[in-house]
Amino acid sequence: MFFHPSMLVLIPGMILMFWAQSRVQGTYQKYSQVRSTLGMTGAQVAETILHKMGVNHVNVEPVAGQLTDHYDPSAKVVRLSEGVYYSDSLAAAAVAAHECGHVLQDVKGYMPMNLRAAVVPAANIGSNLGPFLVLAGIFTNFTGLINLGILLFAAVIAFHVVTLPVEFDASNRALAIVDNLGILRGEERTAARRVLNAAAWTYVATALYAVLNLVQLLLMRRD
């Protein structure tokens, strides 16, 4: 495996990612054991929110896997992992509401969400090809290749940075809705906030790690 001393700058990012991951899993585990007062499943929470918000063109479906929950704007489908879809826990309600937050962003034409969608193709290319081009440029002593790799990788940063307002906003919308509709009550709302905050930290950690990655590529170029 290739090693360069600049790779040491990645370590704090790795630690933060590991911490955020274990925290989200711990918080999720904890509140997936606690049943909500109303006893609505994740699917029911999502369907209720969409119905009450007058969104009738979006379906709610189960999807395999853990923490695979997402909203697919092109298919107009909220996909909830089976552990959320069928569960009446506080964690399931929080996650289901969060995904509906993304639906509302879509309906309202929330700008950062469109911006993120626009950056996705470049970010996909950049995350695979960027670091490879930098390494290839270093080995062949071709600065142009290094710069192109770094430029491509900047698209990855843009994606992760613009993801932050999208995720925070979806959670804020979710918490306001479950509150307004009375889906969660009193202490239950605090639990939902904890679950969504923990999830938000994983996005912060991932964004920071991507920035450190860019710093690392720049340090490698200087050599």
Q: Which residues bind Zn ion (CB under 5 A)?
A: 167, 170
Rounded to a whole number of angstroms, the minimum distance from the CB of residue 125 to Zn ion is 23
Nearer to Zn ion, 170 or 210 (CB): 170
99 is an active site residue: yes
153-180 core/surface letters (b: 16 or more CB in 10 A; e: else): bbbbbbbbbbbbbbbbbbbebbbebbee
Taking the least distance from each CB to Zn ion, the nearer of 145 and 205 is: 205
Catalytic position from the list 99, 167, 187, 188:
99
Q: How far is the CB of 155 from Zn ion (least distance, A)?
A: 20
Q: Is the dihedral of CA 9, 15, 17, 20 positive or negative?
A: negative
Our CB check for Zn ion shows the closer of 23 and 35 to be 23
Q: State which residue, 104 or 212, has the beta carbon closest to Zn ion.
A: 104
Shortest Å distance, C-beta 32 to Zn ion? 18
| Minimum gap (Å) between residue 162 Cβ and Zn ion | 13
Catalytic positions, please?
Answer: 99
